[in-house]
Structure 1
């Protein structure tokens, strides 16, 4: 028995429709095992690759990862999402991530290297136009992947005071705040040149953050100060026990709700890495790598109880889930749901 805890009843799965994905899939979550059973699919938005829920859990937001770029809102009080209005342009391209922050939906736009803010209406729907865009600048030493900025993720910090955006193209993490709906840069923090930071996850104590790097198979451990919105890199930990045998592109990262473990996914190697969190959160120790039970793991999600880990495997087209050993943090495969071109899974 996994015992998910809380009131988790459903999962929402994003996919790439251009690669044959079904769009947004809603699935029931077994409260004991964490197993997923599909309830519906919605194929009205091109390439809804990343999803996020409102704080109340009754509105779902999805990016459309296309050249034009858009974001859409859906009411999810039933088993089939209902559109809360037409998709809204992001004034950017290739959005890969989004989050709810300070009464707005923020999108990280990989193609245009920017962060867009769109106001959220009282009913959970979106305003018709964006209220502001923060344009990233800079580049990195990787001649093919870092010719310019590529914002890959944006999310609130645990205090709710700041939004942080992770930029693969500039090897940096930006901290911003909203003023009159416009995202304004507060600080930019440099990581190691050529590391290619992709996603960031916070420790539950709110004092540390872990950045998974796509261009080098590592995680950067950082100290986070919410009072002044500053991030200080402390160390890097490899996600693999030795040199990669072939392609190795880290993607997703998740932190246990109790802060004892960190998990990452690496595409190409197709493994999940398990880290023990040491000290107060200022160090990671690699303890195991296990097969992801699919091909090209793109995103990770851990249940609120920390007992089940979900993996979206893009190229094998499935969501796999693992029961987590409470002592070691090692994941053990327990089930699979076929979802062509799966890109992310969230719980709500």
Structure 2
């Protein structure tokens, strides 16, 4: 939905584009789009397949590629091989579009489980949220084949407008107890749940096994949207609570379950929005989106749509890897409307923000000392919904 945000509806998404980004966060558009809207309609989210000779990688994608979801009622995703020649980036479809297993797929990610490359797709859905898992296909045709489909049924009904039914919003892979296993965490915005699965493969049978480990509830009516694990303290994760505009810090236990570490942390300043404002008409101005950690694990960045800001937090973590507290360092305007997606590179020197309603990408430099942000650059893109980073030598 558009959140009641006034914006230029004459601008529509034009597929998937490539941009270049310097280590200082300077942005430049490359010739594009590399994937046109006529090839894949309404692309909502992208996962990058870095160059790999792994057994589980389909041959056509060994030099790297993309998988992109098409967020339509008849949901699909498509794999693309990437070729780079100088500053020119080209994408070539590999196989045909693949049924996403549900309606309105809004998130896609990938990882390796044993020798199998696994694609996870979350379908937000009209009637119910659906998780679909795909493995590499050893036969001629599409590079991936569906192994698992899980439908989540009814929602929590706390907010009947948005939680009458389940809405699978995103998933993230994490390391499991052995090299042959992975865990997958799924966020269901419609039922206020975080579900954890154990994944394993039987390569001789080319099969993927998905076993539920735990199902934990978020505070009722908060609408968990996404989860990110701390890159340094891997047992700690941050959950973005979309409908309450909060962040929830959790700790993952050895059995895959999660416990809350602190009370939910608000992203909005006290007293905002004014009751008579346009922002207040949409869920009281509460519309959180993405949250990401810095590579060092000390800082957390969380975006709030409608308020159009990023809150910068510093985690107080003891040597035992327990969170003792969290401090607000900065709350900075994103310099655009509806910040939907955040991205931080491995070097940690900048952060990118995709703005859906002001039709642009903005970049901010990031202080490695205190985590604070400062605007660097902006680049126009209609309906910017997702931004991902990859090193030039890792793809194409």
Q: Same fold (TM over 0.5)?
A: yes
Could you give the per-residue CA deviations for residues 31-68 of structure 1, whole angstroms, max 9, x where no partner exists? 44442332321211111110011243712111111111
Q: Where does residue 14 of structure 1 map in the other structure?
A: none
Residues 252, 265 of structure 1: 8 Å contact kept: yes
Q: Where does residue 304 of structure 2 map in the other structure?
A: 266
- Greater shift, 88-97 or 234-243, is seen at 234-243
In the alignment, structure 1 residue 86 sits paired with structure 2 residue 103 = no
Q: Where does residue 219 of structure 1 map in the other structure?
A: 247
Could you give the per-residue CA deviations for residues 205-232 of structure 1, whole angstroms, max 9, x where no partner exists? 211010010110110110013x321211
In the alignment, structure 1 residue 119 sits paired with structure 2 residue 132 = no
Q: Which has the larger radius of gyration?
A: 2
Where in structure 2 are the equivalents of 1:1-348 lying within 5 Å?
20-41=12-33, 42-43=35-36, 44-56=39-51, 58-78=64-84, 79-101=89-111, 102=113, 103-111=117-125, 112-121=128-137, 126-127=142-143, 129-140=145-156, 141-159=158-176, 161-178=182-199, 180-181=207-208, 183-204=210-231, 205-225=233-253, 227-235=254-262, 236-245=264-273, 246=280, 247-279=285-317, 280=321, 282=323, 283-348=325-390
Task: State the SS of the aligned residue for 1:21.
Answer: coil
CA distance in 1, matches of 2:336, 2:225: 21
Task: Give me the CA root mean square deviation.
Answer: 2.1
Displacement of 1:259 in angstroms is 0.5
CA distance in 1, matches of 2:382, 2:102: 27
CA distance in 2, matches of 1:162, 1:18: 42
Q: 1:271 to 1:186 in 2, by over 3 A?
A: same
CA distance in 2, matches of 1:75, 1:60: 7
Q: 1:99 to 1:126 in 2, by over 3 A?
A: farther
Residues 113, 151 of structure 1: 8 Å contact kept: yes
Could you give the per-residue CA deviations for residues 271-316 of structure 1, whole angstroms, max 9, x where no partner exists? 1111111123623322221110100110100111111100000000
Q: Where does residue 394 of structure 2 map in the other structure?
A: none
Could you give the per-residue CA deviations for residues 217-270 of structure 1, whole angstroms, max 9, x where no partner exists? 110110013x32121122211112314313230001110000010001111011
Displacement of 1:148 in angstroms is 1.1
Displacement of 1:321 in angstroms is 0.4
CA distance in 1, matches of 2:25, 2:159: 43
Q: 1:122 to 1:309 in 2, by over 3 A?
A: farther
Residues 118, 130 of structure 1: 8 Å contact kept: yes
CA distance in 2, matches of 1:318, 1:232: 37
Could you give the per-residue CA deviations for residues 63-90 of structure 1, whole angstroms, max 9, x where no partner exists? 1111110111111132111111211001
Query: Gapped runs of 5+ residues in structure 2?
Result: 1-8, 53-63, 201-206, 274-279, 391-396
Count the aligned residue pairs: 330
Displacement of 1:142 in angstroms is 1.0
Q: 1:286 to 1:26 in 2, by over 3 A?
A: same
Residues 158, 202 of structure 1: 8 Å contact kept: no
Task: State the SS of the aligned residue for 2:17.
Answer: strand
Task: State the SS of the aligned residue for 1:132.
Answer: strand
Q: 1:268 to 1:33 in 2, by over 3 A?
A: closer
Query: Gapped runs of 5+ residues in structure 1?
Result: 1-16
| Structure 1 moving runs of 4+ over 6 Å | none
CA distance in 1, matches of 2:153, 2:327: 34
Residues 137, 144 of structure 2: 8 Å contact kept: no
